[in-house]
Structure 1
Amino acid sequence: MSKKKARWRKLDNAAKLYSAASNKKDTRVFRFYCELKEEVNPDVLQEALNQTIEIFPTFLMVLRKGLFWHYLEPCNLQPIVKEEYKEPCSRLYIKDKKTLLFEVTYYKKRINFEAFHVLTDGTGATEFLKELVKNYLYLIHKENGLEPVSLLPEDMTVQDQEADSFLKYYSKDQKRPKKRKLHAFQIRRKKKDGNHLHVHESVVSVQAVLNRSRELGVSMTIFLTALFMMAINEEMSKMQKKKPVVLMVPVNLRKFFPSLSMLNFFHWIEPGYNFTTQDQSFEAILKYTKEFFETELTKEKMSAHISELLALELHPILRLAPLELKNLCIQTGAKYSEKNTTAIFSNMSAVKMHASYVPYIERFGVYTNTPKFELCLCSFQDKLSFAFTSRYDTVNIERNFYRLLKEQGIASEKVKPEFPKTDEPSEQEMKVYKIYSFLCIAIVAAMLVAECNSHPRVRWTLFTAGGVVTMWITSSIGFFKRYNLLKNAMWQLFIGTIICFIWDALTGWHSWSVDLVLPIMSVSTLTAMFVIAKVRKSPVREYLIYEIMAAGYGLILPVTLLLCKVVKNPTVSMFGSLICFLFLVAVILFKGREFKEEMQKNLHV
């Protein structure tokens, strides 16, 4: 395989949705894991990971924000293997924090690979984990005669890995489907122990499921989809049955369109069944599901869906909408679209390893963190691993599903996932901030009460209240932007000067805010950014955009105020503007290539 460093890249269509819709609880993180027949050696696993990441350089990315879209950029961060230490599928992407979008952990005999869906999809994650497990087992057992093997095409390049297959197969002439979606039954019964992710796993025989599916004349996925809908229906009340049970079933588009991409390249179909108006027999449900799959799973339909997905993204007007506005619209759309499905059923298919490595592996498994009740499955050899994940009380649905399997002659064996005892993520910082905010509110309220009762000649109570509000605003910016010091400095400059303008106006407008504060803060912020970048040894691409913003702010605003004759004493403003101007000139002369690249990243539409 050609070894080439990955370059910055735009997000694929699915990644743009995930980057906007994810949050602390809806993390859009999924886990693929491999259960070995021996305890994991962390030092060897780290060496195996180092080898694996050389083959998949497209995974060494951080998510950054542009004016119109997020984008992925290569970084010098190196993944470090850790013993499992937090809830499965916890958040990997934290806004403004420079972190990798995947993580490798271990616990006893299990190797976990977790990824933020912006980075890759199930196919990409499977290939990464397979390569990681292969490298690990070879390093551990090469002295026992285990031979190195290749799992990936020899001619695969980095360009193949980072190709956006959505764009490759998009056609604006393709007719897009127009189908009105009905609101589906929603599972809403919360767990008593809080909003934690619950994982329940079982294992069945692949051959048993295949044999029964073939007897019925359907595929394994169709057979299990029908059973899943029936299991949900059994827990619905008569009133709830007025709405259909609708499943979201992801489809790997690589089965229809050739692609070696490690990016997201999937769509989904939504089989639904109304158990009030349609025949409730297993035979009728299976027949309907089979016909639905045969109708929807065609190359023409998938091509139409690709066109539907990209048509909105590529709209010339919508592309120019600011990122924050896009994010708000995507989040609203995601919440609305959740009403169209009841649950998710994701079949990741069979995981295949070279025959010489099979004796060392117990099984593979997969599950994910979504706002919906989800059933994920994958197989290895004759072990089909089921994993139900949810933040709702869904134990009865799982029980119904396995009972229905048993009625079809398929026995299941429960597997209790082994997780280490982990502490809850620390909330101490947020508690301190809330206490601090409460004290600030109390002081401001006390000052206002004092003002109403005492009416002092010097309005010291109002000045005190204003000072506390100012302190709270600036410290809050520092708290919430603490992961990115350069962005923090830019926000402090922007908000700080506005607060000074307000104070100047409220105290009779003596022009000190524009004569002194604005130019001094601009130059000071520019200097602080430069020092921070040098101390942290940050690459040029990470600090250049913030310094350009600070210099532009320190040049354009003072010059505008000078021309409008708002500034009474122009000396400091002129010198401040001159420094910012010279900085921008220096950037163009000495960092022109980096400047052009940063503008291209941040302004791409």
Structure 2
Amino acid sequence: MVKQKKAHWRKLDNAAKLYSAASNKKDTRVFRFYCELKEQVQSELLQEALDQTLETFPTFLMVLRKGLFWHYLEPCNLRPVVKEEYKEPCSRLYIRDKKTLLFEVTYYQKRINFEVFHVLTDGTGATEFLKELVKNYLYLAHKEEGLEQVSLQPEDMTVQDQEDDSFLKYYSKDQKRPKKRKLHAFQIRRKKKDGNRLHVHESIVSVQAILKRSRELGVSMTIFLTAIYMMAIHEEMSKMQKKRSVILMVPVNLRKFFPSTSMLNFFNWIEPGYDFATQDGSFEAVLNHTKAFFEAELTKEKMSAHISELLALELHPILRLAPLELKNLCIQAGAKFSEKNVTAIFSNMSAVKMPESYVPYIERFGVYTNTPKMELCLCSFQDKLSFAFTSRYDTENIERNFYRLLKEQGISAQKVEPVFPKPTMPSEQEMKVYKIYSFLCIALVALMLVTDLNFHPKIRWTLFTAGGVATMWIASSIGFFKRYNLLKNLMWQLLIGTIISFIWDALTGWHSWSVDFVLPLMSVGTLLAMCVIAKVQKSPVREYLIYEIMAAGYGLILPGILLFCKVVKRPTVSMFGALACFLFLVGVLLFKGREFKEEMQKNLHV
């Protein structure tokens, strides 16, 4: 039972700020946790189970919004709808300017899929959500057979517990982490698969077999598999490539070091590596080196120091005040640069445990993620350890090497062919039509310019036509790419429209019609259009207020500056337009003061 069901807007945690900036169409930062049942999934019961799960985890009903300095998460009235699986695994969930939830629940045959954007939660949070979902589904499906309802979450857990930013909680500005020189990591360079699609290779291994061999070697399961993974990659390296080290990124759940019930991201990572060119390449040597690295790095002190290092950069007073778009560019560049320090990724989600009475209905759990590199993810349930290799490379050699090396250690793997429906990818028709339209516009502009150069008409109708087409193309392009958010679309149209009118006015001898009439009329017209759209769409105040304030501020400040500088020749329209915008802002402060203050706090938080 969760106390205080309502979630509030919240700042992003340290890891989420990276994911929100670095995600794109190819690198979606989405991962999938799934449960394979022993029975076919019923969509109606799964929808009911999902609704119940969201009562326990209301913090998942969030949308990602942009502020001036940072993104932030905000509660919404959207409700997730369960669908049969219909697209490539780990496809993009966050689309810029589009109001969508950051997770999705689908099913296919006996499998329940939970996909989530990493901004919302990490592997531990996703595990808890999926366990609750599966438990609710199985109870609904089998309660008449005597299956009892059980609680998986602490009775006294609150929404505040789920929203706790544990990075900030355990941050200490006095703790410094010594800088280490990054080694040059070997990069897997293979031909991408057709269409650059994600491919998934899964296998199942006995947990007891892995644990038995690991204990015989005196190491943990993670250390054992890390060494195997590095050796599997090494076997695919040429002599020249062996000059670089094989380095893995291994995420670490910080909840094992610092008490936390947060559903937000709370993990760190270590980067074990091995230089096969200068060190002994035997399995024993690689294993011992990896064991020593884990023992040195997996300490509370090292984890705390890394938290402090990450937060110190985020909380730097100058960097905090940098505009969001500038931060995004820097984060994207940093993420791209950091990729070169890692060869592949290894994520161990550990064991998934369910109440004993629910175990007979479950076949196994599995996990994998979208990645620009190669990634190995694993999790276990009962005695089934599920491995999943994901990549976009057109090769299976590393996976083959991995399982062969396991077999040499006395461990056999059972290959599983993931069953996916034929994806019904979103139609490319819209983009195709836009490209044809753009080509025709460019062709017409080019034709008009060539005509003008050859015939030199007295009335330069060719240049006016070219300028008109270019103006139409710019305005319609903004409308196309900002189509997911009509209010933002209008704000962009106001900004670009007035700039284009200034240019037209200047090129035709400057008669000041752009500042006398177009600017004030477009500002007031945009403001009125925003009010109408918000009313028709029945949008909450928090979704439209900031755009109306921006439009009113633009219609008040810019004409005011132009009036003061005496650029405006006929001031009547400008003055009445500025007056209308001023009165609108006064009305907002008087009648929507609380909402205005909250929106400013969200959009200007640093």
Q: Please give the range of the TM-score, normalised by the shorter of the 2 chains.
A: over 0.9
The alignment status of 1:359 with 2:364, answered yes or no, reads no
C-alpha displacement of 1:183: 2.1
Gaps of 5+ in 1: none
* Partner Cα separation in structure 2 for residue 39 and residue 168 of structure 1: 43
The alignment status of 1:16 with 2:13, answered yes or no, reads no
SS at match of 2:356: coil
Q: Deviations over 1:169-213 (max 9, x none)?
A: 000000123011122000121234121000000001000000000
* Partner Cα separation in structure 2 for residue 424 and residue 361 of structure 1: 30
Deviates more, 1:590-599 or 1:422-431: 422-431
Residues 3 and 54, structure 1, Cα contact 8 Å, conserved in 2: no
Matching residue of 1:337: 338
* Partner Cα separation in structure 2 for residue 239 and residue 424 of structure 1: 41
Residues 244 and 272, structure 1, Cα contact 8 Å, conserved in 2: yes
Matching residue of 2:604: 603
Equivalent residues in 2 for 1:56-75, closer than 5 Å: 56-75=57-76
C-alpha displacement of 1:533: 0.3
Residues 201 and 389, structure 2, Cα contact 8 Å, conserved in 1: yes
* Partner Cα separation in structure 2 for residue 175 and residue 192 of structure 1: 43
* Partner Cα separation in structure 2 for residue 558 and residue 441 of structure 1: 34
Q: Percent identity among equivalent residues?
A: 86
Equivalent residues in 2 for 1:508-527, closer than 5 Å: 508-527=509-528
Q: Deviations over 1:45-72 (max 9, x none)?
A: 0000000001000000000000000000
Deviates more, 1:127-136 or 1:147-156: 147-156
* Partner Cα separation in structure 1 for residue 191 and residue 259 of structure 2: 42
SS at match of 2:340: helix
Matching residue of 2:195: 194
Matching residue of 1:394: 395
The alignment status of 1:550 with 2:551, answered yes or no, reads yes
State the TM-score, normalized to the length of structure 2: 0.99
Matching residue of 1:487: 488
* Partner Cα separation in structure 2 for residue 54 and residue 273 of structure 1: 47
Matching residue of 2:275: 274
C-alpha displacement of 1:3: 3.3
Equivalent residues in 2 for 1:101-180, closer than 5 Å: 101-180=102-181
Letter in 2 for 1:61: M
Letter in 2 for 1:473: I
* Partner Cα separation in structure 2 for residue 557 and residue 53 of structure 1: 46
C-alpha displacement of 1:308: 0.8
* Partner Cα separation in structure 2 for residue 600 and residue 190 of structure 1: 47
Q: Deviations over 1:375-430 (max 9, x none)?
A: 00000000000000001123000000000000000010000001001233311111
Matching residue of 2:327: 326
SS at match of 2:50: helix
Equivalent residues in 2 for 1:473-484, closer than 5 Å: 473-484=474-485
SS at match of 1:364: strand
Deviates more, 1:63-72 or 1:435-444: 435-444
Moved over 2 A (4+): none
Q: Deviations over 1:69-125 (max 9, x none)?
A: 000000000011000000000000000000000000000000000000000000000
Gaps of 5+ in 2: none
Q: Deviations over 1:324-357 (max 9, x none)?
A: 0000000000000000000000000000000000
Letter in 1 for 2:241: Q
Matching residue of 1:245: 246
Matching residue of 1:78: 79
* Partner Cα separation in structure 1 for residue 14 and residue 395 of structure 2: 32
The RMSD of aligned alpha carbons is 0.6
Matching residue of 1:577: 578
Letter in 1 for 2:319: L
* Partner Cα separation in structure 1 for residue 189 and residue 573 of structure 2: 61
Matching residue of 2:31: 30
Residues 3 and 55, structure 1, Cα contact 8 Å, conserved in 2: no
* Partner Cα separation in structure 1 for residue 101 and residue 472 of structure 2: 34
Letter in 2 for 1:303: S
Letter in 2 for 1:398: E
Residues 177 and 305, structure 1, Cα contact 8 Å, conserved in 2: no
Residues 183 and 341, structure 2, Cα contact 8 Å, conserved in 1: yes
Residues 342 and 372, structure 1, Cα contact 8 Å, conserved in 2: yes
Residues 402 and 412, structure 1, Cα contact 8 Å, conserved in 2: yes
Residues 5 and 55, structure 2, Cα contact 8 Å, conserved in 1: no
Matching residue of 2:100: 99
Letter in 2 for 1:574: M
Letter in 2 for 1:464: T
SS at match of 1:422: coil
C-alpha displacement of 1:372: 1.3
* Partner Cα separation in structure 1 for residue 557 and residue 123 of structure 2: 48
Matching residue of 2:264: 263
SS at match of 1:449: helix
Letter in 1 for 2:304: S
* Partner Cα separation in structure 2 for residue 371 and residue 422 of structure 1: 20
The alignment status of 1:235 with 2:236, answered yes or no, reads yes
Matching residue of 2:210: 209
* Partner Cα separation in structure 2 for residue 143 and residue 31 of structure 1: 31
Q: Deviations over 1:418-477 (max 9, x none)?
A: 100123331111111111111111011111100110001001111111011100100000
